[in-house]
């Protein structure tokens, strides 16, 4: 096995950090860069190989950093560029890679580029964004819908045209058909490559281009509606086939340009977030030739908001879908991230032993073929937090209420010390500290200091497993084969290569289960090498 065939990003484990909620160093109730740096020893001891840091660039925070107003400046809320440099230096001293979230499909409405673009239809940046005239009756140019609710077009009275936004109206989409925009966004990426980051997680990586004819999206067969999102609820966005507002063929050509830039800087990586009607087909297109993305972040395991049961089919299905298009594509997986209901709750319907279930979930993720991404708090087995309506911060949650509280339930601050103010999230020990989101009691009792003191805690078992995984080439690089004839309360697969195999058995029930002459204890994980 060569390092070219299995580079660091294929063999490693990543840990996602949501800066607002990881560690508050300056005592304002919001996490910051210095706080992350302060906790890098903890991350390193966990055994992971790299961290993905969610957006921390300057932003008015309408979508909490996913609306960027300056790509080259750390938002003062989180610190400074020098703080980021210190974080990067410390991470590299600990042999941790750092990838940052680049949100380049759209900017903030407060970005200077948009302020100039909206002035007229003939200024220097007039076509840096997607502008269109209204229909004769004044209605939007076509039927495209915003993911966050309502039409994907907002009328701008200053310019007298509509502008396109896939998300909030405060997040106008850039016009990548303009070569100047492409060149500028590559330059924004290069700025951080020059600062020695190790790669990018590319937000909405298939959203860069739109159909220039602005054709209407066709309807989806209502009997086969699939949200393509993390939510269960049917909304206008989910009623369409997204043929013209994203996943356009030109998108791949831009990703190839980005890859050429990345390759100039050596051993870097790109992780693309793919949300599409057929994300597996698109993932293969974007990675198979080795000249665009390195890997893609597939969404099947994180979809849905309703509490449900973990089943073997939930695990087998995305691999089967991927195999329809490629058996060599290298995927990336997560069970939880900053946008979805935490998996301990989402798949934990009826489970009584929450801690054992959380350990099983972590080991399962870390045993699948592909690059695993743990989200902060996964190592503690944190459940979804319930947020009172009056404390909801997420604009998507406000739109979806009461069907869904939005994304705040997975974004609450990390509990570090059960007995400290704000569960140790703030380092200034202010008894009156008010965190930007509440920290629920069932998170506080799962705090790091509590679990550090318990040998069988979720944290201890997850940490030990990550370190053990480093010694298991088959879990890092082996192929995978599922036993679909196993009992429906077992998830069974081989990780294998030409010379050996590792049988992996996960009893996802709370009863003994017998298979192939062996009995497996409730919520147990068993590995047998042959």
CA distance 415 to 440: 9
The alpha carbon of residue 93 and the mean position of all alpha carbons in its chain are separated, in whole angstroms, by 25
CA distance 522 to 510: 4
> Scanning the structure block, which residue is given the tokens 């997420």?
394
> Scanning the structure block, which residue is given the tokens 């010694």?
471
What is the bridge-based pairing of β-strands 50-53 and 131-132?
unpaired
211 and 242 Cβ atoms separated by less than 8 Å: no
152 and 144 Cβ atoms separated by less than 8 Å: yes
- What does DSSP assign to residue 386? P
> Scanning the structure block, which residue is given the tokens 């597939």?
298
Helix (H) or strand (E) run with residue 182 in it: helix 179-194
Residue positions annotated with a catalytic role: 203, 273
Q: CA nearest 352: which of 486, 163, 511, 205?
A: 511
321 and 280 Cβ atoms separated by less than 8 Å: yes
Interacting residues of 84 by C-beta distance below 8 A, sequence separation 6+? 33, 56, 74, 195
What is the bridge-based pairing of β-strands 479-482 and 513-515?
unpaired
**CA angle centred on 360, ends 516 and 319, rounded to 5°:** 70
Positive or negative: CA dihedral 32, 33, 38, 40: positive
| Cα atoms found within 13 Å of the Cα of residue 501, Cβ hemisphere only | 13
- Please give the C-alpha separations between residue 276 and each of 188, 257, 297, 427, in angstroms, as whole numbers: 26, 22, 12, 41
Tokens at residue 54, please? 């969610």
53 and 100 Cβ atoms separated by less than 8 Å: yes
Q: What is the CA radius of gyration of the chain?
A: 23
Interacting residues of 139 by C-beta distance below 8 A, sequence separation 6+? none
């Amino acid at each position: 096995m060569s390092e070219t065939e299995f580079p660091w990003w294929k063999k490693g484990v990543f840990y996602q950090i949501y800066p607002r909620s990881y560690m508050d160093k300056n005592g304002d109730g919001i996490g910051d860069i210095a706080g992350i740096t302060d906790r890098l020893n903890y991350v390193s001891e966990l055994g992971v190989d790299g961290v993905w840091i969610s957006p921390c660039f300057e932003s008015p925070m309408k979508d909490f950093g996913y609306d960027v107003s300056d790509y080259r400046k750390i938002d003062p809320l989180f610190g400074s560029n020098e703080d980021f440099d210190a974080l990067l230096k410390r991470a590299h001293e600990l042999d941790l890679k750092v990838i940052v979230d680049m949100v380049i499909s759209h900017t903030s409405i407060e970005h200077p580029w948009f302020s100039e673009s909206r002035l007229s239809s003939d200024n220097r940046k007039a076509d840096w964004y997607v502008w269109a005239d209204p229909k004769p009756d004044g209605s939007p140019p076509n039927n495209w819908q915003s993911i966050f609710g309502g039409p994907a077009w907002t009328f701008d009275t200053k310019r007298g045209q509509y502008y396109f936004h896939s998300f909030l109206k405060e997040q106008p989409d850039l016009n990548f058909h303009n070569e100047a925009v492409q060149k500028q966004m590559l330059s924004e990426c290069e700025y951080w490559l020059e600062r020695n980051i190790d790669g990018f997680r590319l937000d909405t990586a298939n959203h860069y281009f739109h159909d220039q004819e602005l054709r209407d999206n066709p309807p989806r067969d209502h009997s086969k509606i699939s949200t393509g999102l993390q939510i269960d609820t049917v909304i206008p966005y989910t009623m369409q086939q997204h043929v013209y507002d994203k996943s356009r063929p030109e998108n791949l050509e831009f990703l190839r340009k980005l890859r050429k830039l990345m390759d100039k800087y050596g051993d870097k990586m790109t992780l693309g977030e793919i949300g599409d009607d057929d994300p597996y087909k698109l993932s293969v297109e974007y990675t198979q030739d080795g000249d665009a993305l390195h890997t893609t972040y597939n969404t099947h395991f994180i979809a849905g908001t309703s509490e449900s049961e973990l089943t073997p089919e939930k695990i087998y299905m995305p691999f089967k879908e991927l195999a329809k298009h490629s058996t060599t594509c290298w995927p990336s997986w997560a069970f939880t991230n900053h946008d979805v209901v935490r998996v301990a709750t989402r798949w934990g319907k009826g489970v009584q032993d929450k801690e054992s279930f959380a350990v099983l979930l972590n080991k399962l993720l870390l045993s699948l073929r592909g690059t695993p991404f743990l989200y902060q708090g996964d190592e503690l087995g944190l459940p979804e937090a319930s947020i009172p309506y009056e404390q909801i911060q997420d604009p998507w949650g406000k739109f979806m209420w009461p069907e869904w509280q939005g994304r705040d339930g997975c974004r609450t601050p990390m509990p570090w010390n059960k007995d400290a103010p704000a569960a140790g999230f703030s380092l200034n020990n202010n008894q009156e500290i008010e965190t930007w989101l509440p920290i629920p009691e069932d998170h506080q009792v799962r705090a790091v200091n509590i679990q550090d003191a318990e040998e069988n805690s979720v944290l201890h078992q997850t940490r030990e497993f990550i370190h053990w995984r480093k010694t298991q080439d088959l879990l890092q690089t082996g192929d995978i084969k599922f036993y679909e004839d196993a009992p429906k309360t077992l998830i069974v697969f081989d990780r294998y290569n030409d010379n050996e195999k590792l049988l992996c058995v996960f009893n996802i029930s709370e009863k003994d289960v017998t298979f192939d002459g062996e009995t497996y204890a409730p919520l147990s994980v068993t590995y047998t090498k042959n």
